[in-house]
Structure 1
Amino acid sequence: MAGHGVMASEESLDYSVHEAWNEATNVYLLVILVSFALLMYARKNKRKIMRIFTLPPAAGTPAEPNFYDSLQKVRLRQQLEMYSIARKYDQQSDSVQLSIE
């Protein structure tokens, strides 16, 4: 009779292991299905999702300055400096001419 009692406890242990295994596989299946659904949603709405994670560029400054734009700005600055020097020189020569006359 003692042997029969040991056998009964092993069977109940075996049943609880199967029950836990079934619950775990149900959870894994649910996780796999949800992951697959999210993957399909992400493929269809890729642009919407990327807009969430990207920062909008600042209003006044471009994200990456263009080399030719910066070169044009340097050239324009040089031209303005030369123009201001030429204007100063013209003003000085006018004042010299007025003082001579």
Structure 2
Amino acid sequence: MGEHGLLGNEPESIDYTVHEAWNEATNVYLLVILVSFGLLINKRKIMRIFTLPPTVESSTEPNFYDSLQKVRLRQQLEMYSLARKFEQQQQTDSVQLSME
């Protein structure tokens, strides 16, 4: 009777571990299905990550190098303007000196 009790409990414990493994496997499958479904719904967002960046023409944000070139051009124009004013001032001073 004792042996029959052990043998009787053994299949139940096997069934329990199989049942537990089945539950874990179904949980994994459900998780995979939910993640796949979520990825299909958010396909556009995910595709944005893997696509190439937009071309320069369609970009609305200013390019750093373009803005840097504009700053340099502005500085060059200011320096040219100051140099012209300085040259004109020198010419008027020399004319006044020569008149005296």
- 1:79 CA displacement: 3.5
Aligned counterpart for 1:95 among listed residues 84, 93, 96 = 93
Separation in 2, partners of 1:70, 1:35: 45
Separation in 2, partners of 1:69, 1:24: 58
Gaps of at least 5 residues in structure 1 are 51-60
- 1:38 CA displacement: 1.3
Show the 5 A alignment for 1:8-87. Answer: 8-43=8-43, 45-46=44-45, 62=62, 64-66=63-65, 70-71=68-69, 73-87=71-85
**Per-residue CA shift, 1:29-68, capped at 9, x if unaligned?**
210111111110121x327x86xxxxxxxxxx84x523x6
Over 4 Å off, 4+ runs: none
TM-score normalised by the chain length of structure 2: 0.66
Instruction: State the secondary structure of the residue aligned to 2:12.
Output: helix
Residue type at the aligned position of 1:3? E
- 1:69 CA displacement: 5.3
Separation in 2, partners of 1:75, 1:26: 67
- 1:82 CA displacement: 2.4
Q: How many residue pairs end up in the alignment?
A: 87
Gaps of at least 5 residues in structure 2 are 50-60
Instruction: State the secondary structure of the residue aligned to 2:64.
Output: coil
Separation in 2, partners of 1:74, 1:3: 95
Moved more, 79-88 or 27-36: 79-88
Measured on the aligned residues, the alpha-carbon RMSD in Å equals: 2.7
